[in-house]
A and B are shown apart, each in its own frame.
Chain A
């Protein structure tokens, strides 16, 4: 495997890790505040559909992005109402949201575009263009570092950079601000936060809202950045893999970045079966390659997590003492 192939693969890793990373950070905010969120998948799917639909109707990808985030926020609101206001089961609410998104996107797409549950192909302003960072052309001649800068770091769409910048931002917000301290506290010991006179419900809704925005970005990137249209069930388990990455990262932002890059890389491997044959000297069967990211997710969850301690109040609704 030469440098160019390696850079190509890492480049693909970055692109495939982006939706995972955004969803993983989304889950991070929600779960740090004590709200489990299985519905990442559904929120991404809804955002992917509406962003692609609006982008193809208006031809403006940023309007699409806005609509996608809106769709995701709406589902977040449902999750919030169910699990915070009405103290329902958070896992079940998440599952309901996933099915709601899976069903509604196809029903609406079919009646809107009549293309068998997909949206029309996007082009031009309808999708996110790749950004060439300054000096990428001139520096590409420099050995090793040149191609890395020009191919790997430059030449992605804006949402990729947003996702990677969201990591330090999340870290700063959670661990260096008052809001972050309270948010983490509400996931560990909501009674203490309540005693201090801070609204548990308000904080949890804020966390669920941030989660919705990030999922919206992830979904919009899927349909308008990574692909050129919405297709049925296009998230294909990414929301769950993001959750696995979140557990693997033990609910910490920087580790979430590494975990998502790893899971992104696992998704790249099946795309390049020739490389596996060349480097490992064995031919893997197509279906095995297809299942590989899921199998490795289970293996990682089973073996390498060590003791992953979730936020202590996670999954339990807060009831004020009467």
Chain B
């Protein structure tokens, strides 16, 4: 029985969780001797007060759209992919290999090719844990975490060895000029006013929006999406209906890994324009918070990604101007995961009580009495 109306389910529960997380974060800021109100004002002005701030906020949000969608699609099939970090790292490798070793006449073709490379590499990195889960029953949470560590080592190896550019830094050489993606500055500035000056936000943001839409189609408008959701609701019922668990586990993880990998077109091709060490910077993990907050729905993920983009850019400003370290964002992320994911019922139960008490008593007709006795 649905106690709460749908709008409350999708807005109130995440919002109250967010308020709780924010309140606890404020206490942490107080405890380390800083002023939470001033911190919030700094975050807002730093992340949203100018097109410069927005440029970074949108750039980070783009990363989180991809990793959030990656975690969401796995959640739909009740798989928990903690390996977004590693998949995005390896996706970066795919982007770098495509852009370094293939010639491209125009950025649009380069974008399609690099997106394919990123998705392919990310999916490949998710494939091994998926097939091990499906065939050998190895716990996917543990194997994907192990693959994060292995991916970090692999990238270390590649960047000090085979694909390292001459020089001191462990990084590849810069990608060719023709593969440079149009930034927001290029797209929205006019001759007199320069908007988004020097910010990394780029066309990948729109690819992210497209990915949200495609994923929505996939989950709710295709046969595969139906099978995926059916499997997520009840594995035994899905099996009985002739849905192959192996197929669902592997396919959902491949899509998930591919999406996480595609984050690399934003940070590797769009921003750095070369592959550097630790390019993902925890965005893969933030995807978990984004997916939980967004209720594993593409629209929710998009909004939650914007929120975390704001938090991330705001957090960077805090680290720059105050004594609050950047790791505060990890704390906020943890609290969001805790409240929206694990303590969901703590938020939900009192809300359900409120809605129950607000409900008008049902008319004593036959239908409702039979429903009562059936309960």
Give the nearest-CB partner of A291 in chain B. B153
Q: A86 to B161, alpha carbons, bound, how many Å?
A: 50
Asked, given contacts A103-B333, A295-B150, A298-B146, whether A95 binds B325 with beta carbons under 8 Å apart, the answer is: no
CB-contacts of A109-123 with B (<8 A): 110-111, 117
| Residues 113-151 of chain B, each 1 if its beta carbon lies under 8 Å from chain A, else 0 | 000000000000000110010001111011101110110
Which residues of chain A have C-beta atoms less than 8 A from B320's C-beta? none
Counting CB contacts under 8 A, is B344 at the interface?
Answer: yes
Which residues of chain B have C-beta atoms less than 8 A from A71's C-beta? none
Asked, given contacts A107-B327, A243-B142, whether A294 binds B149 with beta carbons under 8 Å apart, the answer is: yes
Binds A, one of B60-68, B229-237, B241-249, B335-343: B335-343
Which residues of chain B have C-beta atoms less than 8 A from A297's C-beta? 142, 146
Asked, given contacts A99-B333, A117-B327, A240-B142, whether A89 binds B342 with beta carbons under 8 Å apart, the answer is: yes
CB-contacts of A5-26 with B (<8 A): none
List residues of chain A with CB under 8 Å of any chain B CB: 38, 78, 81-83, 86-93, 95-100, 102-104, 106-108, 110-111, 117, 237, 240, 243-244, 247, 285, 287-288, 290-291, 294-295, 297-298, 301-303, 305, 307-308
Asked, given contacts A111-B323, A244-B142, whether A88 binds B345 with beta carbons under 8 Å apart, the answer is: yes
Which residues of chain A have C-beta atoms less than 8 A from B338's C-beta? 78, 82, 93, 96-97, 100
Asked, given contacts A100-B335, A294-B149, whether A287 binds B141 with beta carbons under 8 Å apart, the answer is: no
Q: Could you say which of B129, B324, B341 contacts A88, with CB atoms under 8 Å apart?
A: B341
Contact of B334 with A99 in the complex, beta carbons under 8 Å: yes
Contact of A92 with B292 in the complex, beta carbons under 8 Å: yes
Number of A-B contacts (CB under 8 A): 156
Which residues of chain A have C-beta atoms less than 8 A from B156's C-beta? 287, 290
Which residues of chain B have C-beta atoms less than 8 A from A78's C-beta? 338
Chain B min CB distance to A226 (Å) = 19
Q: Could you say which of B31, B139, B150, B292 contacts A301, with CB atoms under 8 Å apart?
A: B139
| Residues 257-301 of chain B, each 1 if its beta carbon lies under 8 Å from chain A, else 0 | 000000000000000000000000000010010001000000000
Which residues of chain B have C-beta atoms less than 8 A from A308's C-beta? 137
Which residues of chain A have C-beta atoms less than 8 A from B343's C-beta? 81-82, 86, 88, 93
Asked, given contacts A110-B325, A291-B153, whether A298 binds B138 with beta carbons under 8 Å apart, the answer is: yes
Counting CB contacts under 8 A, is B157 at the interface?
Answer: yes
Contact of A38 with B136 in the complex, beta carbons under 8 Å: no
Counting CB contacts under 8 A, is B32 at the interface?
Answer: yes
Which residues of chain A have C-beta atoms less than 8 A from B341's C-beta? 88-89, 92-93, 95-96
Asked, given contacts A107-B28, A287-B153, A291-B149, whether A86 binds B346 with beta carbons under 8 Å apart, the answer is: yes
Give the nearest-CB partner of A103 in chain B. B330
Q: Could you say which of B28, B82, B143, B327 contacts A298, with CB atoms under 8 Å apart?
A: B143
Asked, given contacts A91-B141, A104-B331, whether A99 binds B337 with beta carbons under 8 Å apart, the answer is: yes
Contact of A107 with B342 in the complex, beta carbons under 8 Å: no
Most B CB atoms within 10 A — which of A81, A83, A102?
A102
What is the predominant secondary structure among interface residues of chain B facing chain A? helix
Contacts A99-B337, A107-B327, A243-B139 supplied; 5 other A-B pairs, CB < 8 Å: A92-B337, A93-B341, A107-B32, A243-B142, A295-B150
Which residues of chain A have C-beta atoms less than 8 A from B337's C-beta? 92, 95-96, 99
Which residues of chain A have C-beta atoms less than 8 A from B160's C-beta? 287
Which residues of chain B have C-beta atoms less than 8 A from A88's C-beta? 341-346
Q: A238 to B342, alpha carbons, bound, how many Å?
A: 23
| Residues 206-231 of chain B, each 1 if its beta carbon lies under 8 Å from chain A, else 0 | 00000000000000000000000000
Q: A117 to B142, alpha carbons, bound, how many Å?
A: 27
Which residues of chain A have C-beta atoms less than 8 A from B132's C-beta? 298, 301-302
Counting CB contacts under 8 A, is B20 at the interface?
Answer: no
Mind listing 16 A-B residue pairs with CB under 8 Å? A78-B338, A86-B346, A86-B349, A88-B344, A88-B345, A100-B334, A110-B325, A111-B323, A117-B325, A287-B156, A288-B157, A291-B149, A301-B136, A301-B143, A305-B137, A307-B137
Q: A243 to B147, alpha carbons, bound, how many Å?
A: 15
Q: A237 to B149, alpha carbons, bound, how many Å?
A: 8
Contact of A287 with B325 in the complex, beta carbons under 8 Å: no
Which residues of chain B have C-beta atoms less than 8 A from A301's C-beta? 132, 136, 138-139, 142-143
Give the nearest-CB partner of B324 in chain A. A107
Counting CB contacts under 8 A, is B80 at the interface?
Answer: yes
Asked, given contacts A87-B345, A93-B341, whether A240 binds B146 with beta carbons under 8 Å apart, the answer is: yes
Most B CB atoms within 10 A — which of A83, A88, A288?
A88
Q: A307 to B136, alpha carbons, bound, how many Å?
A: 9
Counting CB contacts under 8 A, is B22 at the interface?
Answer: no
Contact of A287 with B149 in the complex, beta carbons under 8 Å: no
Give the nearest-CB partner of A38 in chain B. B141
